Structure 1
Amino acid sequence: MSPIKKPGKNILIVDDDQVTLMLLSQILENSGYGITQARCGEDALNIVMMSEPDLALLDVNMPGMSGLDLAKRLQIETDVPFMFLSASTDHDIIKQGISYGAVGYLVKPVDTVNLIPTLEASLARASEIKQLRKSELSLTSALASGRETSMAVGVLMAKFQTDRHAAFDALRAHARANRKTISDVANELLLAEETINQFKKIF
């Protein structure tokens, strides 16, 4: 029986070692992932520009463009998340990889038992980062476009001792649940706050 493809889980493996490249490709393909291979950083960049993978697995030490150099390009020029593959356990290299935004790190020789769990954890982390970026953009856009929305977010932050993102997410969730626009819910919230404030004068 052929493996079931996992929707949205396409992995780009970049390694100049053919044996490692084939081994990882076979394991991941047998587990249902879509696989693309590259033997160098330049080829990997071309592949990314043509078909954006869900995760790139980068060998650190490659001739020409190293995995760290490639990671920096991916971080600056694309939204493709990446993790590193290296025979080195040098903490400085690991720290440098993390500073570039890596979502994971695998040490050669790869422990095949832990390969899939590590990959899934990295994919989950990558998904969280994308959601945070999307939420940040949505929040920035909403606050920029409406004074009432910004004020309503401030009210929720003060009332529930929460941060701006959580307050905006709550406002958006309430709007969706009640099939209203965020602006409408923000106005309702501000009116309710004004009404409550009027009662403060009585008490």
Structure 2
Amino acid sequence: MAPAVSTDPSKGKILVVDDDRLVLATVAHGLTQAGYEVIDADNGDDAILLARQHRPDLALLDIRMEGKSGFDVAAYLREYCQVPFMFLSAFSDAQTAQQVAELGAVAYLVKPLDIGQILPTVETAFARLRGSGAAAPGGAGPATAPADPLADVVALATGVLMHRYSLTRGQALDRLRRQAQAERRTPEQQAQRLVEAVELLAGPAGEFSI
């Protein structure tokens, strides 16, 4: 698909990858309307080629696709392009959550999602990239370092809660904050505790209590 050109390229360039063409078109349109330059692909092979050609500032990746998966694309972006990425996926089982954390995603959002839920996370990711000294969105090059695997542990934990309890993003964040307050932890500490519990269960199937 041809890239959709933003009216304000300085906001940043985003690669969107999803094999569901309706989801792809919806997310790409929403981000373009919000002022981002968007490049889209419906498979992992094209995503890698587009990433090499256009050097996006951020990538939004579906996980399960035919051919190269979102994990394959993420590993390539991290190792060869130094492009930060987040996942938009219908899956948040323990094994998937562990792989997301190990790859160093800046966020992990669980479908179904609308653009109103995606945009705040994208904006947060760009704000963090600016603050970390990475290349400015819309600049000549990609971020100079891969994302910290725990840079957005709260977003990762929120995705797990959204899936497990069928919550909206706002409800999941509120639940995480209330749990943290009840146990006298910061939201980041509570999120880290949840992520560690998920990782422990990534091998054998099991349940955990939140």
Q: Distance in 2 between matches of 1:134 and 1:76?
A: 11
Answering whether residue 86 of structure 2 is matched by residue 83 of structure 1, we say yes
- 5+ residue gaps, structure 1, are 136-203
One-letter identity of the residue aligned with 2:113: V
Q: Considering only CA atoms, is the larger Rg found in Structure 1 or Structure 2?
A: 1
Report the aligned-residue RMSD.
2.5
| TM-score, with length taken from structure 1 | 0.60
1:58-97 mapped onto 2 (5 Å cutoff) = 58-97=61-100
Whether 1:51 aligns to 2:32 is: no
| Matching residue of 1:30 | 33
C-alpha separation in 2, matches of 1:62 and 1:130: 33
Indicate the SS of the match to 2:10. coil
Change (3 A) 1:68 1:5: same
Instruction: Decide whether aligned partners of structure 1 residues 44 and 87 sit closer, same or farther in structure 2, where only a CA change above 3 A counts.
Output: same
Between structures 1 and 2, the one with greater helix share: 1
Structure 1 window deviating more from structure 2 (21-30 vs 120-129): it is 120-129
CA distance in 1, matches of 2:106, 2:90: 18
> Matches of 2:130 and 2:33 in 1, distance apart?
23
Q: Highest relative contact order (Cα 8 Å, sep 6+), 1 or 2?
A: 2
Number of residue-to-residue matches in the alignment = 134
Using the size of structure 2 for normalisation, the TM-score is: 0.58
What is the letter of the counterpart of residue 68 of structure 2?
M
Deviation at 1:63, TM superposition (A): 0.4
Q: 1:134 to 1:73 in 2, by over 3 A?
A: closer
1:111 aligned residue: 114
Residues of 2 paired with 1:102 and 1:121: CA distance? Answer: 13
